Structure 1
Amino acid sequence: MPERSQLRLLSDDATSDSAVEVANAFDAGRLTQARCLAGLTKAALATQVGVSGAAVSQWEARTSPPRPDHLRRLAEVLDVPVEFFAVGRPFAQLDGGSAHFRSLRSTKTSQRVKAVAFAQQVWELTYALEKHIQLPPVDLPGFLPDEADHRLPASPAEAARALRAHWGLGTGPIPHLVRTMEMHGIITTMVPFAGADTPTINAFSTSRMPRPLVVLTPDRGDDVYWHRFTAAHELGHLVLHRDAAPGDPVQELEADAFAAEFLTPAARIGDKLPRRVDFGALEKISHEWGVSFKSLIYRSRELGAISDASARRAYQRLNRLYELGMIEPDPVTNYPGEVPSLLSKAFELAEANGTLTMTSLARELRWRLPRLRLLLGHPDVRPVLRLV
Structure 2
Amino acid sequence: MDLSHLDLPLIWSVLIAIAIMMYVLLDGMDLGIGMLAALAGSDDERNLMTATVEPVWDGNETWLVLGGGGLFAAFPLAYSILMPAFYLPVFFMLMALIFRGVAFEFRHKAVRQPTRLFWNGAFYTGSFIAALSQGLILGGFVQGVTVEGRAFAGGPFDWLTPFSLMVGFAVVAGYVLLGACWLVLKTEAELQAKARRWAALALIGVAIGFAAISLATLSIDPRVTMRWGFSMTHFEFGSLLPLGLIPLSGLALTLWLARDLLIGAGKAPDWRPSLLAAGIFLSGYLGLAVSLFPWLVPFAFTVEQTAAHDNALGFLLVGAVVMLPVILGYTAYVYAVFWGKVKPGDGYGHA
State the TM-score bracket (shorter-chain normalisation): under 0.3
Q: Which has the higher helix share?
A: 2
| Bigger Rg, which one | 1
Tell me the TM-score normalized by structure 1.
0.25
- Larger RCO, structures 1/2 (Cα 8 Å, 6+ apart): 2
